[in-house]
């Protein structure tokens, strides 16, 4: 078939898919999906995937390891909703066995599964579109198809040297110099295998999971597999205090949690690191950029007339310009950020207050000691 006829055939497919995906064109679907990632490996592959495959599968895995912070709650809900709107199915890999291997909740599998149930409740409450979302518990799914799963894991392990696997320890919140258990050394091979076991086309995880996703693409080269998983890595929101590259569930002051009360949000934002006229590494500015703006599509700063009066921002660039120029002060930015975050989180608070089962679940999780 010549190039013109191939192009015409592709156009027919695009027209058919547009009707299936709420009228979104290929370009619109691509831009919607691409907007999720701070990095995409590779953009051409992503576009071709959306063109050629009607049922795209994206996945993320999470360890049930404690209360959910706002990045995992709100940002993940926003990203999942974009993917499902673009026609993707999203598979959540509830990594209960992985949390056990990584000694979360003191290695108590019953507690780990309780935390996993709590996390699903949070996503439902915040407004995640569940129609094209599946929650798959790793222990259950692996046991159902154990021969298939472990053959992939062992093949990945056989094809890689130990130093390459240890370099992936960042995915567990560890580093190369940590004294890793044998289970933790095996962890990256299993996470890499998850991608193929779940038949995922897109790995939609954070930048901190990049190394194991790249390992999966390298494994495809080793086994001469043409269709590699596309890596769509979202931005990692920093901790609220100075010098914190990421939030920590073991440090309650480093993050806003999804069911934090109004006064807790207000206090944490008030204490947050927010240097005047500096946007780089400023967690309060990042909350606006990655949580508030994507949620509302705008952001209002409320302040006295003496300080310039209220101002509605429709573009993040305008807010950054005002902040760098000193026209927007931290003393005015912080209360407005806290106000917007409280509005976002209120449905979650209401759910855990008014639903008896959810209320009991949260009370149980709050009693658990978070372990690194």
CATH code where residue 270 lies: 1.10.240.10
| Model confidence pLDDT, tens digit, residues 216-266 | 999 999 999 999 999 999 999 999 999 888 777 778 888 999 999 999 999
According to the model, what pLDDT value does residue 213 have? 96
| Cβ count near 122 (within 10 Å) | 25
Q: Tell me what percent of the residues of the chain surpass a pLDDT of 70.
A: 92
Residue 116 shares a structural domain with residue 12: yes
Average pLDDT over residues 157-161: 95
SS3 312: strand
According to the model, what pLDDT value does residue 6 have? 43
pLDDT at 187 over 50: yes
pLDDT at 111 over 80: yes
Q: Which residue has the higher pLDDT, 332 or 186?
A: 332
According to the model, what pLDDT value does residue 195 have? 98
- Does 242 map to a domain? no
- Does 181 map to a domain? yes
Residue 228 shares a structural domain with residue 263: no
| Model confidence pLDDT, tens digit, residues 287-336 | 999 999 999 999 999 999 988 899 999 999 999 999 999 999 999 999 99
pLDDT at 372 over 90: no
Average pLDDT over residues 59-83: 95
Residue 103 shares a structural domain with residue 143: yes
Token pair for 4: 């013109």
Q: Give the 3-state secondary structure of 315-351.
A: CHHHHHHHHHCCCCCHHHHHHHHHHHHHHHHHHHHHH
The CA distance from 87 to 83, in Å, is: 7
Q: Which residues pair with 135 in a beta bridge?
A: 92
CB neighbour list of residue 160: distance below 8 Å, 6 or more residues apart: 189, 215
Picking from 233, 261, 288, the residue at the C-terminal end of a domain is: 233
Residue 34 shares a structural domain with residue 153: yes
- Does 260 map to a domain? yes
269-275: long-range contacts (C-beta < 8 A, 24 or more apart)? 269/240, 269/334, 269/335, 269/337, 269/338, 269/341, 270/334, 270/338, 271/240, 271/241, 272/240, 272/241, 272/334, 273/240, 273/241, 273/242, 274/330, 274/333, 274/334, 275/330
According to the model, what pLDDT value does residue 307 have? 87
Residue 168 shares a structural domain with residue 50: yes
Average pLDDT over residues 343-359: 97
Average pLDDT over residues 145-171: 92
- Does 246 map to a domain? no
Residue 130 shares a structural domain with residue 276: no
Residue 119 shares a structural domain with residue 208: yes
Give the chain's mean pLDDT: 92
- The reported pTM is 0.90
Structural domain count of the chain: 2
According to the model, what pLDDT value does residue 1 have? 46
Picking from 203, 233, 263, the residue at the C-terminal end of a domain is: 233
- Does 245 map to a domain? no
Number of helices and strands in the chain (H, E)? 18, 8
339 touches 301 (CB < 8 A): no
According to the model, what pLDDT value does residue 10 have? 54
Please, which pLDDT band fits residue 54 given cuts at 50, 70 and 90? very high
Q: Quick one: CA dihedral 197, 184, 76, 215, positive or negative?
A: negative
- Does 306 map to a domain? yes
According to the model, what pLDDT value does residue 11 have? 52
According to the model, what pLDDT value does residue 88 have? 97
Residue 156 shares a structural domain with residue 31: yes
According to the model, what pLDDT value does residue 3 have? 46
- Does 372 map to a domain? no
- Compute, in degrees rounded to 10, the torsion defined by CA atoms 237, 103, 370, 194: 40
- Does 244 map to a domain? no
CATH code where residue 153 lies: 3.40.50.620
According to the model, what pLDDT value does residue 354 have? 97
Domain membership of residue 20 as a residue range:
3-233
- Compute, in degrees rounded to 10, the torsion defined by CA atoms 208, 249, 279, 345: 110
| Model confidence pLDDT, tens digit, residues 3-44 | 454 455 455 555 555 546 668 999 999 999 999 999 999 999
Please, which pLDDT band fits residue 153 given cuts at 50, 70 and 90? very high
According to the model, what pLDDT value does residue 296 have? 98
According to the model, what pLDDT value does residue 182 have? 84
């Amino acid at each position: 078939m010549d190039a013109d006829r191939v192009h015409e055939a592709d156009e027919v497919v695009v027209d058919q898919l547009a009707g299936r995906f709420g009228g979104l064109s290929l370009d619109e679907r691509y831009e919607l999906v691409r907007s999720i990632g701070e990095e995409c490996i590779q953009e051409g592959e992503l576009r071709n995937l959306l063109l050629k495959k009607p049922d795209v599968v994206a996945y993320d895995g999470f360890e049930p390891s404690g209360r959910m912070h706002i990045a995992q709650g709100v940002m993940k809900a926003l990203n999942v909703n974009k993917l499902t709107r673009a026609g993707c199915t999203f598979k959540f890999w509830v990594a209960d066995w992985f949390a056990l291997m990584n000694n979360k909740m003191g290695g108590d599998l019953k507690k780990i599964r309780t935390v996993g149930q709590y996390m699903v409740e949070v996503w439902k409450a915040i407004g995640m579109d569940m129609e094209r979302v599946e929650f798959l518990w790793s222990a259950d799914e692996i046991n159902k198809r154990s021969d298939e799963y472990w053959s992939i894991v062992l093949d990945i392990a056989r094809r890689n040297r130990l130093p390459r696997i240890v370099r992936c320890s960042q995915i567990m919140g560890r580093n190369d110099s940590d004294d890793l258990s044998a289970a933790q050394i095996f962890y990256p091979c299993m996470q890499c295998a998850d991608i193929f076991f779940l038949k995922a086309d897109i790995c939609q995880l954070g930048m901190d999971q990049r190394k194991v996703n790249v390992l999966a693409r390298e494994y495809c080269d080793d086994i001469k597999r043409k269709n590699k998983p596309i890596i769509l890595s979202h931005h990692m929101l920093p901790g609220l205090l100075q010098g914190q590259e990421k939030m920590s569930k073991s440090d309650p002051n480093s993050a806003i949690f999804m069911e934090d009360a109004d006064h807790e949000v207000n206090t944490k934002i008030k204490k947050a690191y927010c240097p005047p006229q500096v946007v780089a590494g400023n967690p309060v500015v990042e909350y606006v950029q990655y949580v508030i703006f994507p949620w509302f599509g705008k952001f209002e700063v409320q302040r006295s007339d003496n300080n310039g009066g209220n101002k509605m921002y429709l573009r993040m660039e305008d807010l950054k310009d005002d902040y760098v120029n000193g026209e927007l002060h931290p003393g005015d930015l912080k209360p407005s950020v806290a106000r917007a975050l409280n509005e976002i989180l209120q449905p979650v608070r209401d759910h855990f207050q008014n639903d008896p089962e959810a209320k009991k679940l949260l009370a149980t999780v709050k009693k658990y000691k978070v372990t690194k």
